[in-house]
Structure 1
Amino acid sequence: MTDSHERRAARHPVAKAKRAGTSFRAVSTKSQRPSQRFEFWRSLFPRIDLDTVEEDGQRDFRGNLLHFGTEDGATFVFSSNDDTRASFGRPEGDFLMLSLTVAGSAKLQHGHDTRLISTPGTGLVIVDGGQAFTTISRDHSVISLMLPRDRAERAIGNDLSVLRNGLVSLPQEGMAHLLTSHLQTMAMEGESLDGHSADIAMKAAVDMAFGALTQAKNREDGQTAIPTGHDAGLRAAARRYIHLHCQNHKLTAAGIARAIGCSRAHLYRVFAAKEISVGDVLRTARLERASALLITFADMPVKFVASRCGYADAAAFARAFRGYNGMTPQEYRELFRR
């Protein structure tokens, strides 16, 4: 890429969002004249060689993306676009890309060797941006999380051997399963988040990504636990799992630990390091859910609200709710009816 091309790319909304790191930014080729739409799209991805699959594919190219970048180089992108061919392995390819196909397909090739065809059923795939891969996407929508390679190396102990072949497909379990859900939620809710909330969501995504990468490495090494140094990722994954499953009244710390791939004792230590407990996080998640349900479903009996928030006993729910909000569930509901 020439210096002038780089300067032009820096003026685009995605580049501005990355520098500012303030909130999610939506970008569309519709903002450009039809003849310039593909060049505009290509300029948004300066670390990848991008072209269209068909000869006339640049005419009135259609592409939309939602973007959020942090000052330390992590980038979230949710994009949908016409068919493209992308080539990795440039000198600027010092990044890892976690990719989740949500529609269409993307064929990943190394030379003439097809390594993977990613579809919505494939789950998360990690690609080493420094290796010479080509992807051919058709009718493609994808959620991507790009991480600086040096940060990833530091996070998992300077050992990226799990990516020696250039890519790894993550089993949809443990941390990878939670990360998938979190990325999908970011794609759906990103535009509604303010800057502070966007930063929190992005930090959780990055922490879980490092945890998922570590689990993949440990699985290859025959290990089962995540090292202590990945406590931030474990906390983020545990919180995510709790918020997704807090309506289950049988949810326990042991079940949460199994889901994210660590021992119950280590899970306790991870939260104790921040002077909070797993039980407190679970209780707060249930009562926040209850508060929302009481308002959203104004005619739902309180005992049903209790059941949908993980409380098998309505009396226990009422006591917990009063301790949390300073009023009974019915009083809380009446407050918002005024």
Structure 2
Amino acid sequence: MTDRPVPEGEDDAGLKMNAGFYRLRRMSTTDFAPGDRFDAWRETAYTIADLEVPRAGEAELFGTKYAVHGALGNFASHAGSVHRTVITPATRLSGALDAIIISLMAEGSVGLESPGGEQPITSTGRLVAYDATKAMRYHWSVGKEIYVVLPRAKALAAFGGELPGLVLPLDTIPLGVMVRDHMAALDLHADHLDRKEMAIALDALHTLALLLLQRIGRGLSDRDEPDPNALFLAAKRYIHANYNVSDLSPEAIARAVGCSRASLYRAFAHNDATIMDTVRDVRLAMSRRLIEAGTGRSISVIAFDCGFKDVSSFGKLFRSRFGVSPSVWREQFS
């Protein structure tokens, strides 16, 4: 890394991006000659923790990694063989640990060992947060970790103080599950996103991650009102995932994203929107896509599949939005 400022540019949508941001960088142990592999991999793939020398009898070191640097923080995925990483005093003094890690164990597990010998295990599928300044040694099984790196000061400000213990579970509330799913989806599709798409997806993920820390922290100490923009984004994601639920209500959405109904109303008002108008708009957009797809389903089935309780009211809403009835719209794609 260099301290030299990197020129900024602006894409055709007016999105300002640092020249080094939102570019997918891939690496693998196979990029290096066998004799240089360990030292080169330790130097290239590890910036927060130091890779320990393999122990006798362990399988040959293997790993693949990609990383994306963003304006709000970083995103990365690492898969590989059994290994251990350690936080050294030198690393602590370097400032490289100035981060909170949001970690999803997509495969395998990791144990975080404290100086006192404590070693909580994070298993497959769990989403957790840990403070990189606390844990001393990480015991990685064969597996894959997807993780978000947040600036420590910003993350702790959202949480409202120091993280308790070595590992903080985050998927204990619906918003945590949403963040976990967003991370998995971004990992799956990263290769297929252009730079602008990556910027939007990654910035949204970091905003959701900070909101999640804020929500967990508020649940522990019953503190502040969540950021309205982040809450609005989280609610919209939940609506997109559950538009087909006919009784989707402000109360249900508020419970899912971990806030009061009043806070949710304020977040939508802050963004010049209303909750039920947003639900209706998402349902209409999805119904139009299904009609255009020519699935063979009747208009009434599509209406019910998109959360509308009444076919007649669906037809009126569809005509009001798109100018023609659902059946006429279908004829255009026959």
Distance 1:100 1:58 in 2: 24
Q: Relative to structure 1, is the Cα distance of residues 298 and 100 closer, same or farther in structure 2, using a 3 angstrom cutoff?
A: same
Counterpart of 2:118 (choices 106, 109, 114) is 114
* Unmatched runs of 5 consecutive residues or more in structure 2: 3-16
- Counterpart in 2 of 1:47? 48
Q: How many residues align?
A: 314
Are 1:254 and 2:255 an aligned pair?
Answer: no
Distance 2:278 2:35 in 1: 53
**Equivalent residue of 1:211, what SS?**
helix
**Equivalent residue of 1:248, what SS?**
coil
Counterparts of 1:178-193 in structure 2 under 5 Å? 178-193=178-193
- Counterpart in 2 of 1:220? 220
- Counterpart in 2 of 1:151? 154
Counterparts of 1:273-312 in structure 2 under 5 Å? 273-312=270-309
Measure how far apart 1:38 and its partner are.
Answer: 4.1
Are 1:79 and 2:78 an aligned pair?
Answer: yes
- Counterpart in 1 of 2:7? none
Are 1:135 and 2:138 an aligned pair?
Answer: yes
Q: Relative to structure 1, is the Cα distance of residues 34 and 279 closer, same or farther in structure 2, using a 3 angstrom cutoff?
A: farther
Answer whether contact 1:38 1:58 (CA < 8 A) is retained: no
Q: Relative to structure 1, is the Cα distance of residues 299 and 24 closer, same or farther in structure 2, using a 3 angstrom cutoff?
A: farther
Distance 1:76 1:264 in 2: 32
Q: Relative to structure 1, is the Cα distance of residues 104 and 132 closer, same or farther in structure 2, using a 3 angstrom cutoff?
A: closer
Answer whether contact 1:37 1:62 (CA < 8 A) is retained: no
Measure how far apart 1:124 and its partner are.
Answer: 1.4
Q: Deviations over 1:191-248 (max 9, x none)?
A: 2222222222222211221222122222222x2xx73352222112111111111110
Q: Relative to structure 1, is the Cα distance of residues 107 and 166 closer, same or farther in structure 2, using a 3 angstrom cutoff?
A: closer
Measure how far apart 1:20 and its partner are.
Answer: 2.1
Q: Deviations over 1:7-28 (max 9, x none)?
A: 8xxxxxxxxx996223444444
Distance 1:34 1:297 in 2: 54
Measure how far apart 1:34 and its partner are.
Answer: 4.2
Distance 1:243 1:152 in 2: 27
Distance 2:55 2:155 in 1: 35
Distance 1:142 1:193 in 2: 20
- Counterpart in 1 of 2:161? 160
- Counterpart in 2 of 1:12? none
Answer whether contact 1:78 1:144 (CA < 8 A) is retained: yes
Q: Relative to structure 1, is the Cα distance of residues 266 and 229 closer, same or farther in structure 2, using a 3 angstrom cutoff?
A: closer
**TM-score (structure 1 length as normaliser):** 0.83
**TM-score (structure 2 length as normaliser):** 0.84
* Unmatched runs of 5 consecutive residues or more in structure 1: 1-5, 8-16
Q: Deviations over 1:290-316 (max 9, x none)?
A: 233223353222222212211122222
Query: In percent, how many aligned pairs have the same letter?
Result: 25
Answer whether contact 2:158 2:213 (CA < 8 A) is retained: no
Q: Deviations over 1:89-135 (max 9, x none)?
A: 623101000111111111111125233111125x2111101124211
Counterpart of 1:318 (choices 279, 304, 315) is 315
Answer whether contact 1:53 1:136 (CA < 8 A) is retained: no
Measure how far apart 1:75 and its partner are.
Answer: 0.9
Answer whether contact 1:26 1:191 (CA < 8 A) is retained: no
Distance 2:283 2:175 in 1: 22
Q: Deviations over 1:15-72 (max 9, x none)?
A: xx9962234444444444444444444312222111354447684x432234322134
- Counterpart in 2 of 1:102? 106
AA matched with 1:47: I
AA matched with 1:22: Y
- Counterpart in 2 of 1:68? 68
Answer whether contact 1:182 1:240 (CA < 8 A) is retained: no
Answer whether contact 2:294 2:333 (CA < 8 A) is retained: no
Distance 1:231 1:266 in 2: 8
RMSD value, Cα: 2.6
AA matched with 1:243: H
Measure how far apart 1:327 and its partner are.
Answer: 3.2
Q: Relative to structure 1, is the Cα distance of residues 321 and 68 closer, same or farther in structure 2, using a 3 angstrom cutoff?
A: farther
Q: Relative to structure 1, is the Cα distance of residues 19 and 51 closer, same or farther in structure 2, using a 3 angstrom cutoff?
A: farther
**Equivalent residue of 1:115, what SS?**
coil
